[in-house]
Amino acid sequence: MLINRKKVWSLSWPLIIANFTIPLVGLTDTIIMGHMPDSLYLAAIAIGGIVFNFMYAGLNFLRMGTTGIVAQKFGENNFEEVFFSLLRPTLIAVSVGFILYLNRKYIYDLSVYFLTPDQQLLELYKEYLFIRMIGLPAGLLNIVFLGWFFGMQKTKSVMLQLVIINLMNVIASLYLAVYLEYGIFGVALGSVLAQISGLLLSIIIFLNHFKTLNFSSFDLKKIINLNGFLNLFSISKNLFVRTMLLVSVQAYLIKKSGLIGVDQLATMEILIVIFGLSSYTLDAFAHAAESTVGVSIGSKNQKNIYKSIKNTTEFALSFSVLIGIFLYITDYYIINLFTNIPVLQNLTIDLWTLVIITPFISMLAFQLDGIFIGATLAKEMRNSMILSSLIFYLIIEFIIQDTLNLKNLYSCFLLFLILRGVFLTFYLPRVFKLIKN
């Protein structure tokens, strides 16, 4: 496979479009709730959002593990394992999705215990959580299909799946929550309808790819091959720890913001959504790195590994600067789009300089994540995340606890992002050692 800037851009531009639609869901929900009579509605979906982040991100190893394995098997031209590497995580996703749904009350009780939200938020949060749980099994299946599309370098399929899911979510949420005035119930129901629509579309896309591959000679008994599951779980256990720590950091930000006040919690939700807008855009190049690095390793081409890392990182760096410039120019318009509540506007303005530099600071961590996922070096990702999150917690608890405010909290989050990139950089030589000349 030829790796150059043209190839990287051909893989990346559909992902930029697709990934940009992902935070549109949180953006729409935040805007709708940010224009409610007070901050309680926005604070309630902040709590609900972090709980779903735990579930989806905690199980995102189904996506990341699938991508790395499929990309390498695709590079080896082992199409039998390419197919089975989709079916195995699918079985896991279905099982886990229904187990979580059946235990939704326990999830609610557990989240209230750990996040300790204000009593005024509980009814709104419970309504949001229970409705969105209906779409969880479909959502987990969608991330498995997404991982398979990434690994197969079907980035236009990724774009189609994500664009449809997220636009459906936006349209349904606006219609149900604003036009029909269902409020927080409508926002949650919109997410359910979007996930179900996305699953139906993913199946159709897969069946279309199915026609181009020769599956007639495959031994279907190999689906339950223990080694295949063990390979996925070997990668997944480390990715699970890494991802749960990542979400825990954001949950900790939400929890600490809530301890300062409801307005501060609502403001932190706005900051996290803006962070998502930039991070998902930059993730397009990380996803391109996942695919190209994985295929390069599978085909044992060390030169292509270097080209993949160099070209994808150049694009990511350029876009991080452009996003920062855009945030600097459009500050007034973005803040007013999110909320018309004066106290929330003022709190967000005070932190805007930190928001502007976030894309540049976070770029290296995202990009290295993509490289290590493609190389299936999950242990290194886990170790880097453990160190970064530990430092993050220690600083907040033992250094700034007595001067806790939003600026200190968000500054610690930026330090966490920097540390992730620095620690992963130390492990980078291991990617090249996977192939012996």
- Of the candidates 377, 374, 382, 378, the one whose C-alpha atom is nearest the C-alpha of residue 67 is 374
Residue 76: strand, helix, or coil: coil
Q: How many domains in the chain?
A: 1
Is the pLDDT at 19 greater than 70? The verdict is no
Chain position carrying tokens 């480390």:
238
- The predicted model scores a pTM of 0.70
Each residue of 327-360: pLDDT tens digit?
999 888 888 877 778 888 898 899 999 999 999 9
Q: Which SS3 state, helix, strand or coil, does residue 36 take?
A: coil
Strand, coil or helix: 215: coil
- Residue that has been written with the tokens 């530990």 in this structure: 390
Enumerate residues 6+ apart whose C-beta is below 8 A from 313: 285, 289, 367
- The pLDDT value given to residue 27: 63
Asked whether residue 396 is domain-assigned, the answer is yes
Name the helix (H) or strand (E) containing 163. helix 155-173
Least confident interval from 103-107, 175-179, 302-306, 413-417:
302-306
What residue ranges in 258-303 does DSSP mark as E strands?
Answer: none
Higher pLDDT, 113 or 98: 98
Range with the lowest mean pLDDT among 32-36, 221-225, 357-361? 221-225
Does residue 111 register a pLDDT over 90? no
Within a domain: 281: yes
- Domain assignment present for residue 163? The answer is yes
Distance in angstroms (rounded) separating the CA atoms of residues 53 and 332: 29
Residue 139 falls inside a structural domain: yes
Q: What is the pLDDT of residues 148-189, one digit of tens each?
A: 887 777 777 877 888 888 888 888 988 998 888 888 888 889
CB 173 within 8 A of CB 186: yes
- Asked if the model's pLDDT at residue 12 lies above 90, the reply is no
| 199 closest CA partner among 254, 237, 162, 234 | 162
Structural domain containing residue 31 = 5-432
If you average pLDDT over residues 302-311, what whole number do you get?
A: 83
Write down the H helix ranges in 330-433: 331-338, 342-350, 352-374, 378-398, 406-427, 429-432
Please report the pLDDT score of residue 42 as a whole number.
74
Percentage of the chain surpassing pLDDT 70?
Answer: 84
Helix ranges (DSSP H) in 375-405:
378-398
Q: What is the mean pLDDT of the chain?
A: 81
The answer on pLDDT for 50 being more than 80 is no
Q: Among 133, 170, 146, 141, which residue's Cα sits nearest to residue 48?
A: 133
pLDDT (mean) for 367-385: 87
- For the segment 119-141, what is each residue's pLDDT rounded down to a tens digit? 777 888 888 889 989 988 998 88
- Taking 80 as the threshold, does the pLDDT of residue 18 lie above it? no
Confirm whether 437 is domain-assigned. Answer: no
In this predicted structure, what is the pLDDT of residue 32? 75
Residue 22 dihedral angles phi and psi, to the nearest 5°: -60, -55
pLDDT score of 328: 92
Are 88 and 229 in contact, with CB atoms under 8 Å apart?
Answer: yes
- 94 exposure class (CB count in 10 Å sphere: 0-12, 13-18, 19+): middle
pLDDT value at residue 286: 85
Mean pLDDT, range 40-58, rounded to an integer: 76
Least confident of 82-86, 160-164, 204-208: 82-86
How many residues appear in the chain?
Answer: 437
Q: Is the pLDDT of residue 220 over 60?
A: no
Residue 401: how many other CB atoms lie within 10 Å: 11
Give the residue from 138, 161, 134, 132 showing the smallest Cα distance to 22.
Answer: 161
Q: Give the model's confidence band at 292: pLDDT under 50 very low, under 70 low, under 90 confident, else very high.
A: confident
Work out the average pLDDT over 404-424: 92
